[in-house]
């Protein structure tokens, strides 16, 4: 059985740790490969390689960096189907969803290709007599990325393309659950002409992560994952003098107003709640229905649609399923336990996915689409992020009650409102305490030229991912004030300098 090691200095390097973690095909429950869990010393080797490469990479012109990224994007396009299949085989999401993930990641690569413009500073002539002032956006040095299992390509591409475009070098620590696709991406970067050592991969667990958070040569850390780990990443990295962007958990609500078009709401909600088996940080897991009539309409139609859903392996069959398995047996059991607690807490279980089986794939990690009604704050299925195909319906009596409900939740990642009222939508966008808002859009993930990030306990750190925030995160501003005085000027001044 193949074993994945690390990718350091442009080469695949076997790990000597002796610690192996199995990688499974979630649709079959069968192990496909091993991945090595690197030692602290192996992680330091990757950092040292990136540190050495920074000395020359930072001097490469932004235009030259952009040209390499253009070639990289072309290689991603020519290997598109292969990469999507690797995602599907190890994560479990259906092929069309894997292709969607890859496309959104490539959009950030495309954005990073504009780095000659994005990295321009500002210039002000004659801020004083014969004095000019200008700014430089300079790279930081070695940067690190720690990514989750649910987007094994897209989330790393939120990080490293902008980082290396800005002149930094990078060490990536992907999820040990689905590491193969990012290793292929590293090969494509090398093929595109990226110098050895600029992009490196360390496979591992907490031992590797702690080195990335504490080694003085690492200047910045970018992370996406659960809130408890995001807090740890932010606190530890910041304590060791690094700039950190750490994106955590979510509990995303969709407000369904009485004037919303039911067919449109149902169409949007099916994909937002059950797409990728709910393993998305922007998944809609709570439908907040204003009024019982809106709730009854929604539930009736959702039940019809769920009965027609096709669930199965992401890469198999003549007809692509709507939803695949969860990432692991452990996670599938965790989601089933959440369903148990929902019943125990008094929510109405309308569709139960706990005993769902797929013919021919009985060992796969499948949980069927699940629907609860009469869910309330204080229930675990409402308060906590389930990260599975479980949709909760909460009934409220007014629009303001819906807003107050969402604002009271500890997470503030994404939300949406479905309505025909411009007044309601505008008020919602202004008053809601959530970082990303959709109006008649169920999953409001910003395009690459805008920035991605939530509020409250969904994010730690002041700068979000990609867009202008991404460029600011991976650069350090330096402001220069310059004049070229005549050689015979000898006047001394001991007061605060002012410009005249």
Among residues 166, 281, 289, 429, the one annotated as catalytic is 281
The SS3 call for residue 337 is helix
Are 180 and 271 part of one and the same domain? no
Q: Could you tell me which of 458, 313, 326, 305 has the C-alpha nearest to residue 388? A: 326
**Residue 113 falls in the annotated catalytic set:** no
Are 243 and 155 part of one and the same domain? yes
Look at residue 244 and tell me if it is in a domain.
yes
Domain limits for position 432:
252-439
Look at residue 140 and tell me if it is in a domain.
yes
pLDDT in tens, the chain (500 residues): 899 999 999 999 999 999 999 999 999 999 999 999 999 999 999 999 999 999 999 999 999 999 999 999 999 999 999 999 999 999 999 999 999 999 999 999 999 999 999 999 999 999 998 899 999 999 999 999 999 999 999 999 999 999 999 999 999 999 999 999 999 999 999 999 999 999 999 999 999 999 999 999 999 999 999 999 999 999 999 999 999 999 999 999 999 999 999 999 999 999 999 999 999 999 999 999 999 999 999 999 999 999 999 999 998 667 899 999 999 999 999 999 999 999 999 999 999 999 999 999 999 999 999 999 999 999 999 999 999 999 999 999 999 999 999 999 999 999 999 999 999 999 999 999 999 999 999 999 999 999 999 999 999 999 999 999 999 999 999 999 999 887 765 667 777 777 66
The SS3 call for residue 440 is coil
Are 201 and 102 part of one and the same domain? yes
Retrieve residue 459's tokens: 């994010």
CATH number at residue 150: 3.40.605.10
Look at residue 101 and tell me if it is in a domain.
yes
Supply the Cα-derived Rg of the chain in whole angstroms. 25
Are 269 and 374 part of one and the same domain? yes
Number of Cβ atoms within 10 Å of the Cβ of 206: 11
Are 30 and 129 part of one and the same domain? yes
| Domain count for the chain | 2
Are 191 and 299 part of one and the same domain? no
DSSP for 143-211 reads: EEEE--SS-TTHHHHHHHHHHHHTT-EEEEE--TTS-HHHHHHHHHHHHTTPPTTSEEE---SHHHHHH
Overall pTM surpassing 0.85 (yes/no): yes
């Amino acid at each position: 059985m193949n074993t994945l090691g690390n990718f350091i200095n442009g080469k695949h390097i076997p790990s000597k740790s002796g610690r192996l973690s199995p990688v499974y095909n979630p649709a079959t429950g069968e192990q496909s490969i091993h991945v090595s869990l690197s030692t602290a010393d192996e992680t330091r080797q990757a950092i040292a390689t990136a540190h050495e490469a920074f000395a020359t990479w930072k001097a490469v012109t932004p235009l030259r960096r952009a040209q390499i990224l253009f070639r990289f994007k072309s290689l991603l396009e020519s290997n598109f189907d292969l990469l999507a299949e690797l995602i599907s085989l190890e994560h479990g999401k259906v092929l069309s969803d894997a292709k969607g993930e890859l496309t959104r990641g490539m959009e950030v690569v495309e954005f990073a290709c504009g780095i000659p413009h994005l990295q321009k500073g500002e210039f002000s002539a004659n801020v004083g007599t014969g004095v000019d002032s200008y700014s430089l956006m300079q790279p930081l040095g070695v940067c690190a990325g720690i990514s989750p299992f649910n987007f094994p390509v897209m989330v790393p591409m939120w990080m490293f393309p902008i980082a290396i475009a800005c002149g930094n070098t990078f060490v990536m620590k992907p999820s040990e659950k689905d590491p193969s696709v990012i290793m292929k991406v590293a090969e494509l970067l090398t093929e595109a002409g990226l110098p050895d050592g600029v992009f490196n991969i360390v496979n591992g667990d907490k031992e590797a992560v702690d080195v990335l958070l504490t080694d003085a040569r690492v200047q910045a850390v970018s992370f996406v994952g659960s809130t408890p780990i995001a807090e740890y990443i932010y606190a530890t990295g910041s304590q060791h003098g690094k700039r950190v962007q750490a994106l955590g958990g979510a509990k995303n609500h969709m407000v369904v107003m009485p004037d919303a078009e039911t067919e449109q709401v149902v169409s949007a909600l099916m994909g937002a709640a059950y797409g990728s088996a709910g393993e998305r940080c922007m998944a809609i897991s709570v439908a907040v229905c204003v009024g019982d009539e809106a709730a009854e309409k929604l539930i009736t139609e959702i039940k019809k649609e769920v009965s027609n859903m096709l669930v199965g392996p992401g890469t198999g069959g003549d007809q692509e399923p709507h939803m695949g398995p969860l990432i692991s047996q452990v996670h599938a059991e965790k989601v089933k336990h959440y369903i148990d607690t929902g019943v125990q807490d008094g929510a109405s279980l309308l569709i139960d996915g706990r005993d769902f089986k797929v013919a021919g794939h009985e060992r796969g990690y499948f949980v069927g689409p699940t629907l609860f009604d009469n869910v309330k704050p204080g229930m675990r299925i409402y308060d906590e992020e389930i990260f599975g195909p479980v949709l909760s319906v909460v009934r409220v009596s007014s629009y303001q009650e819906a807003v107050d409900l969402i604002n009271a939740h500890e997470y503030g990642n994404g939300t949406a409102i479905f309505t025909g009222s411009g007044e309601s939508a505008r008020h919602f966008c202004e008053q809601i305490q959530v970082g990303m808002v959709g109006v008649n859009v169920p999953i409001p993930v910003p395009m690459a030229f805008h920035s991605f990030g939530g509020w409250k306990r969904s994010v730690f750190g002041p700068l979000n991912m990609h867009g202008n925030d991404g460029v600011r995160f991976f650069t350090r501003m330096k402001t220069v004030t310059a004049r070229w005085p005549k050689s015979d000027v000898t006047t001394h001044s001991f007061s605060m300098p002012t410009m005249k």
